[in-house]
Amino acid sequence: MSVIHADNVHKRFGKVHVLRGIAFRIPEREGAILLGANGCGKSTLMRCMNGLARPEQGSIHVHGSNVANCSQRKLREVRRGVGMVFQNFNLVGNLSVFQNVLYGGLARHRSFFAITAPLASREERAYAMHCLERVQLARCADQRADQLSGGQQQRVAIARVLMQRPSVVLADEPVASLDPKAAREVMNLLWGVVREEGMTLLCTLHQLDFAMEYGDRVIGMKAGHVQVDRPMGQTSRDELQSLYEGNVRVDETPSDAVTPLRRAS
């Protein structure tokens, strides 16, 4: 069953036609990598998938709900099941690591107080500590989040996703601002958590080595089109490298300049 299904998605910003008929499916529990050069439309696609931007045309079904045109109420419900990991971690820097993890439970509660450290239930607090132990940062629970290294902050962000208990995770360049050692630690942790919890993952990356090592599937974008969509084992480094060559940016490439998708069976 496809947990994520995008079909003929178009998005424009003014005269720039950013998403040009994007279509793909990601089955349950698959870890897919979204590749493509700067300016090809990856972040816009991720934003459309989380309902932060709305496409003018097409559909994006997440667990059967079309986030491209559903109500705000429905969108909130869908988002409860979608965890986000960002390049810049998106932690609240002046709050404790523990509080940041507790915030992951926000979607499950109507009241903000229910996930505020002094007021949260014993169960929520215990589960937040369990999530921190899972990313090996329980010892940092009381530290301010902005006192941690970048790699540690991303591990806190993964603990926050665990706290949320989503079935889908969207990770937008989760290791882009990390050094190679921290990047590998975060990749191992993210993939480990996703596999163990049976989550479905779509992760944008710029590192081909990581993509080929970790991904089950690759979705490769070029100038607003899906150009490659196949199991990682059926692609080659040359094919992935070609995503970064020639007309890649949507703001420099007419809509008809790139031939979309050589689709795998």
Q: Which of 8, 38, 57, 234 binds ligand ATP (CB under 6 A)?
A: 38
Q: Which two tokens stand for residue 222?
A: 């070029």
The reply on whether position 16 binds ligand ATP by CB under 6 A is yes
| Between 104 and 174, CB nearer to ligand ATP | 174
d(CA 227, CA 70): 28
- Span interacting with ligand ATP, options 13-21, 115-123, 142-150, 226-234, rule CB under 6 A: 13-21
156 in Cβ contact with 136 (< 8 Å): no
Q: Which of 6, 17, 24, 43 binds ligand ATP (CB under 6 A)?
A: 43
| Between 88 and 234, CB nearer to ligand ATP | 88
Question: How far apart are CB 19 and ligand ATP at their closest, in Å?
Answer: 8
| Between 54 and 109, CB nearer to ligand ATP | 54
d(CA 244, CA 220): 10
Q: How many residues belong to the site for ligand ATP (CB under 6 A)?
A: 13
The reply on whether position 208 binds ligand ATP by CB under 6 A is no
Question: How far apart are CB 52 and ligand ATP at their closest, in Å?
Answer: 10
Ramachandran class of 153: left when φ > 0, alpha when ψ lies in -120 to 50, beta otherwise: alpha
| Between 148 and 218, CB nearer to ligand ATP | 218
- Span interacting with ligand ATP, options 41-49, 103-111, 122-130, 253-261, rule CB under 6 A: 41-49
| Between 43 and 200, CB nearer to ligand ATP | 43
State which of positions 78-117 bind ligand ATP (CB under 6 A). none
The reply on whether position 42 binds ligand ATP by CB under 6 A is yes
Q: Which residues bind ligand ATP (CB under 6 A)?
A: 13, 16, 18, 36, 38-44, 250-251
